[in-house]
């Protein structure tokens, strides 16, 4: 059974599975941007944390320096996940943690675990009244829920497909495809997904969008389904193949790839009735350097698209027509940038485990489309 630290008290986590006890530890926000003049001391503290069989969440957070992810519940609570791994090798000890921060910025609950650098750190998604862990393996086993107070809840796992409905979230895209229903804490495969689907997205209305790749010379197709029924589909224009898929706010978009390059978008802004191809719009597609796997493509709640590359530059649509984009100014070089509703969450961190901190390290938040950013600060 896992233990949760909660504002100076210790709360036993009831019903948590062994997989659940591997929950990620979140790094303390106080470490973000810290001036650590004595690198030797920091290295010693870091080594001590990852070798500790029972690390404290605050120590893991300080060692990690920046979260690996930030997800939000519908009341504004944030779950921050952190990972401190072996610096010299991809083997050896590691430590993970998560921390839930309430809407007022104060810590509500936190938890840390000793682990192994070869293990994949747990990942969470915001889900209605709390958070849900993405299954750590290739099945649904190990998924569990946390409410906004940090209390764990066992997820109901079923192999019976569910017809997606509003409020469901895509928990695992493929192998296997899984959705999560917060109202019943149920994890299940989505009903009606085509056998040839290689990408999935579920929007706020419960519409399932899939990129289908036939085993013939026919073009890839974007298929949309609701309540288990197919509403329509559109072909990916030749000579392109489909890449990353996103859907939110009436907009659905698919990146268009050719070879090892992203060349534009196929998108709709009216729920799939009309589609168009975007090959410019102010985005220098030919200058993108990192390939299709590093593309960031996300939809804001109002249907505007965010486009960019992990560790590179980002562009945001001027309005929900998504015809013109402008460069996004960021306060630091983000290793990741995600969207929740209308809020942008950027993380500045090293790309590999390191004892030191990078410039601007930590979580940055913008609620006005990237015009102003503030660094997430901990209030205790």
Residues in the chain, total:
380
pLDDT band at 379; cut points 50, 70, 90: low
Which residues, in sequence order, are CB contacts of 92 under 8 Å at separation 6+? 50, 86, 116, 117
pLDDT band at 380; cut points 50, 70, 90: low
Angle (nearest 5°) at CA 329 between 280 and 295: 50
Please determine, for residue 16, whether its predicted confidence score (pLDDT) is greater than 60. Answer: no
Which residue bears the tokens 């986590």? 13
Joined together, the tokens standing for residue 370 give: 């990237």
Q: Tell me, what's the pLDDT at 128?
A: 86
Q: Tell me, what's the pLDDT at 39?
A: 64
pLDDT digits (tens, 9 = 90+) for 149-161: 999 999 999 999 9
- In the predicted model, what is the mean pLDDT of residues 11-20? 33
pLDDT digits (tens, 9 = 90+) for 344-358: 999 999 999 999 999
Joined together, the tokens standing for residue 156 give: 């109901």
Please determine, for residue 4, whether its predicted confidence score (pLDDT) is greater than 70. Answer: no
pLDDT digits (tens, 9 = 90+) for 260-283: 999 999 999 999 999 999 999 999
Closest CA to 25 of 124, 103, 118, 104: 124
- In the predicted model, what is the mean pLDDT of residues 195-203? 94
pLDDT band at 19; cut points 50, 70, 90: very low
pLDDT digits (tens, 9 = 90+) for 298-341: 999 999 999 999 999 999 999 999 999 999 999 999 999 999 99
- Whole-number Å distance between alpha carbons of 172 and 169: 9
Q: Tell me, what's the pLDDT at 20?
A: 34
Q: What is the value of pTM for the model shown?
A: 0.86
On average, the pLDDT of the chain sits at: 88
Q: Tell me, what's the pLDDT at 26?
A: 34
- Whole-number Å distance between alpha carbons of 340 and 42: 33
Cis peptide before 212 (omega within 30 of 0): no
């Amino acid at each position: 059974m896992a233990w949760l630290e909660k504002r100076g008290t210790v709360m036993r986590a009831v019903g948590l599975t062994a997989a659940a006890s591997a929950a990620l530890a979140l790094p303390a926000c106080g470490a973000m941007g810290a001036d650590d003049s004595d690198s030797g001391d920091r290295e010693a503290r870091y080594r001590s944390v990852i070798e500790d069989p029972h690390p404290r969440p605050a120590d893991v957070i300080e060692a990690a320096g920046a979260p690996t992810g930030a997800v939000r519940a519908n009341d504004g609570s944030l779950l921050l996940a952190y990972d401190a791994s072996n610096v010299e090798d991809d083997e050896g000890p590691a430590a993970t943690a998560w921390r839930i921060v309430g809407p007022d910025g104060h810590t509500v609950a936190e938890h840390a675990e000793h682990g192994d650098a070869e293990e994949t750190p747990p990942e969470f998604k915001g889900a209605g009244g709390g958070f849900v862990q993405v299954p750590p393996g290739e099945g649904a086993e190990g998924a569990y829920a946390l409410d906004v107070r940090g209390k764990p809840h066992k997820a109901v796992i079923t192999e019976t497909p569910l017809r997606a409905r509003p409020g469901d979230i895509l928990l695992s895209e493929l192998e296997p495809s899984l959705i999560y229903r917060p109202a019943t804490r149920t994890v299940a495969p989505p009903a009606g997904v085509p056998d040839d689907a290689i990408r999935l997205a579920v929007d706020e209305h419960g519409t399932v969008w899939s990129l289908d790749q036939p085993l013939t010379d026919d073009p890839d197709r974007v298929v949309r389904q609701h309540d288990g029924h197919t509403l329509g589909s559109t072909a990916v224009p030749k000579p392109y193949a489909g890449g990353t898929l996103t859907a939110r706010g009436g907009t659905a978009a698919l990146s268009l790839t050719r070879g090892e390059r992203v060349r534009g978008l196929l998108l709709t802004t009216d729920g799939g009735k009309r589609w168009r191809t975007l090959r410019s719009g102010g985005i220098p597609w030919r200058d993108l350097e990192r390939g299709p796997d590093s593309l960031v493509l996300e939809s804001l709640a109002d249907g505007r698209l965010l486009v960019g590359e992990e560790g590179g530059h980002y562009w945001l649509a001027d309005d929900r027509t998504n015809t013109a984009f402008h460069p996004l100014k960021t306060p630091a070089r983000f290793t990741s940038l995600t969207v929740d509703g209308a809020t942008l969450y950027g993380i500045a961190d090293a790309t590999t485990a390191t004892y030191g901190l990078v410039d601007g390290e930590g979580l940055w938040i913008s609620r006005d489309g990237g015009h102003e950013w503030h660094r997430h600060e901990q209030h205790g």
